[in-house]
Amino acid sequence: MISKRLACVVFTSTLVVSGLMIGCTQEAEEEGGIGSEEAALKDPATGEPTCSGKKVLICHIPPGNPANAHEICVGEPAVAAHVKNHGDPIGPCPPPSAPPATDSGPPSPPEGDSGAPQGDDVILR
């Protein structure tokens, strides 16, 4: 189980509502809680996507735009949210699927059939 800490804190005054401060701690950014996404790097030896430091490689599937799936590196604390909220799998994205085969013309006649009309075949003109 991954534990999460509240990194962003909202402070308000109970006496005067004129002072509202919203902020996030530096610690949250270092832990990958905020603004820690970065594009995956390509390993020069293999060409495979990889991450620097303690980041985790995930295949990010943007909500509503699954055709734009791409690899990103996130801090370990952000992995669970990506998996839960976006269905992002851990690791590289699968290669794009091949386009469907094009129609190669009429089907071949069954084996043993030359395709020529026989005695009881109906010929339409």
What's the mean per-residue pLDDT of the chain? 71
Question: pLDDT tier at 31 (50, 70, 90 boundaries)?
Answer: very low
- Taking only the tens place, the pLDDT of each residue in 83-120 is 998 889 999 999 877 666 666 666 666 776 666 666 66
pLDDT at residue 5 is higher than 70: no
CA pair distance 15, 105, nearest whole angstrom? 80
Task: Kindly report the length of the chain.
Answer: 125
pLDDT at residue 15 is higher than 80: no
pLDDT at residue 18 is higher than 60: no
| Tally of CB atoms within 10 A around 76 | 13
